[in-house]
Amino acid sequence: MQNSTPEWLGREELAGPFPAESGERVAADLGQQIELSVYARSLTLTASRLWFLARGDDGKKWVCCMAKAGSSTLLAAPAKTVTFDRFSMELAMTPASADAATVVREHLPFLNPRPLGLQKSAGCGDRLGMATPGHIRALRSVFGADEAVTLAPIFAQQSIRENARTGRTPQEVMDDAMWGVFQEGWRQGYGADADHLKTFEDVDSCAAAGYTFYTIDPGEYVDDRANHASGAELQAMAEALPWDELQDSLPDLVRRLTDKPVELAELSVALQSQSVVRAAAKYGRAVAHTARMVERIRQAMGDRPYEVEMSVDETETVTTLAEHIYIASELQRLGVKCVSLAPRYVGEFEKGVDYIGDLDKFEESFAQHVAVAKRFGPYKLSLHSGSDKFRIYPIAAQLAGDLVHLKTAGTSYLEAVRAIAAIDPDLFREIVQFARQRYPTDRASYHVSADLAKMPDIIGQPDEALGDLLNDFHGREVLHVTFGSVLNHEPFRERFFAALTSHEETYHAVLDAHFQKHFAPFA
């Protein structure tokens, strides 16, 4: 043990990240002492403690080294002595569990999610709880230094529907993302999206887990019949809205939105009374439900900061300019402040594949939506089912600037399947055969158009060519929508996770390459 006191000992503030070379050296030294593999980027010095994440045959461990006694009580785990910077320290470790996550968030605040505000942002859904390091590496690949990243990330994101299919809880999603952030040493902040919430119970469970971004999905309250209803029928639908809850009346609404043109930057829109009635009939109940959900979020979060998104993207009919104006103006009148909003755009946003539609029409419509977002917000336009929509990213980035939020989810699972093709070709073949059988049933709750008859047959294909199935439209959608069935199929589940866990660098490299294509247009 050295005689002089190291510079870092006694400091209270968080030290900067270890330089790459010295971090690798320290990680190797500590790993040798504790007989585990230490993640170099996780090394964190603060308050006379050295924290890091390590991995052994029985999983990942959270480790704390202290210059004096006390780490064992902090972690409630047996302690041992190690040497760091020629100074003896007491070390204790515990599995990277939910209990440990609670403690580490308390001591390392940068691991807590936070609201992102009106920054350009991207949500990175992770159905496996293993993708966050790959997402972070893609950000670094595109932007270079961490502090140069201008696309604010959401790393904890999974819908209640996806939780049900994967058997995960909102807390587990949150904890998995946090451990990924710690593992990669990401200190630039991140959000946590409680995605597609429909009920008060959804809100409560996500608030208890500490989410900071709440995506309200009032799709069940959108009445698509209004698109084709006749005058009398349309009037009756509008008059039947919950006007007391909306704190309004139909005559007042029509008068308010048709009294004078709505000025949208260079665009002046004179709404017709029938357009307003149609918009109300279609979206009025959705607006009311959104207001109810926002009030529940306010109650559940108390004095903790949060932000809200409204999503009506998973509906049958496109959100017109008049309808977006109606939604935005009514939310504003009811005091509902959204950080982002997801209309139903023109064209098709099918799962896991590129945008299907006329790019000129999308550009014209998206520009109008941007004008509404600036006039009644400002708030961001959210691109839901945004995975792999490479054709529209440049348009959205150019027109919206910072007022855009990209939301991805299933594509990280698909890239895990690609990694499986390289790691365990036999398992990949079995998954593909099983997915073919499940697709007719599992597609029911998704908007997809893949045709099993057009899906390439991999029988006879060499191992090195199997991953090409993930580049095929039909193969990609079939594998996308069957994720829940695959992950809950006992003959697959243990082998699937064991393969990715033992070859996590392969998975992270695949994700890095794939998400660079998502992030680069927004750089």
Cα torsion 504, 39, 19, 151: sign: positive
Bridge partners of residue 269, in order along the sequence: 262
Q: Please, which residues bridge with residue 215 across strands?
A: 309
Q: Is 323 among the residues known to form the active site?
A: no
Active-site choice (248, 309, 313, 424): 309
Burial (CB count within 10 angstroms: exposed 0-12, middle 13-18, buried 19+), residue 114: middle
15-511-380 Cα angle (round to 5): 75
What are the two backbone dihedrals, phi and then psi, of residue 13, each rounded to the nearest 5 degrees?
-80, 160
Backbone angles phi, psi at 44, to 5 degrees: -140, 125
Identify the CA nearest to 47 among candidates 77, 78, 71, 22. 71
* Set 175, 195, 217, 248: catalytic member: 195
Contact (CB, 8 A) for 154 and 415: no
Give the whole-angstrom CA distance, residue 337 versus residue 159.
21
Query: Residue 500 and residue 465: Cα distance in Å, rounded?
Result: 19
Contact 158, 195 (CB under 8 A): yes
Q: Are 88 and 119 in contact (CB under 8 A)?
A: no
Annotated active-site residue 309? The verdict is yes
C-alpha distance from residue 267 to each of 29, 372, 438 (Å): 64, 10, 48
d(CA 66, CA 9): 10
Residue type, position 69, single letter: A
The residues, any chain, with a CB within 8 Å of residue 464's CB and separated by 6 or more, are none
Q: Annotated catalytic sites, by residue?
A: 195, 309
